[in-house]
Amino acid sequence: MTKHSPHRRPDKVHGWRHIVAATRYSMAGFRRLLDESAFRHETMAFGVIVILFFAVGAKLSDHVIAFILFLLIAAFEAINTAIEELVDRISPELSAMARHAKDLGSFSVFCLVIANGAWAAYVLGSALFGW
């Protein structure tokens, strides 16, 4: 493997080395996302939902859907964070376009927060009140 400067892209790798490299990049992204308080709050909320689902005897399918919704919120949170970092790099001054880009990313996460909350309310309401 050749050394590369921070200003040069790494050489392309193929096969199993590509899978290893992609996994390493994904884990670096996950570690970066852990720096975001919103993601930590969403992760804690998911933990509470899992505990509540177990407490009320939710079905396996309810847990699977909650997990998929959590993965979606994590993905959107990662994309939102990437948008914010790019906007801050490209447009460090305040501008309407930068604000709109950040607001739209935030709205996409908000939509999934609502979806997660609605699913949790539905499952808990069905278990507790027979909705």
Residue 86 belongs to domain with CATH number: 1.10.287.3610
Structure confidence at residue 4 (pLDDT)? 53
Q: Report yes or no on 92 lying in a domain.
A: yes
Q: Report yes or no on 60 lying in a domain.
A: yes
C-alpha 56: how far from chain center: 26
Per-residue tens of pLDDT for the chain, all 131 residues: 455 556 788 788 899 999 999 999 999 999 999 999 999 999 999 999 999 999 999 999 999 999 999 999 999 999 999 999 999 999 888 899 999 999 999 999 999 999 999 999 999 999 999 98
| Active-site option among 42, 77, 84, 85 | 77
* Model pTM score: 0.86
Structure confidence at residue 9 (pLDDT)? 80
Catalytic annotation on 84? no
Q: Report yes or no on 96 lying in a domain.
A: yes
Q: Which domain holds residue 57?
A: 16-129
Q: Report yes or no on 22 lying in a domain.
A: yes
Q: Report yes or no on 33 lying in a domain.
A: yes
Q: Report yes or no on 51 lying in a domain.
A: yes
Q: Are 39 and 74 in contact (CB under 8 A)?
A: yes
Q: Are 66 and 116 in contact (CB under 8 A)?
A: yes
Q: How many domains does the chain have?
A: 1
Q: Report yes or no on 115 lying in a domain.
A: yes
Q: Report yes or no on 9 lying in a domain.
A: no
Q: Are 62 and 53 in contact (CB under 8 A)?
A: yes
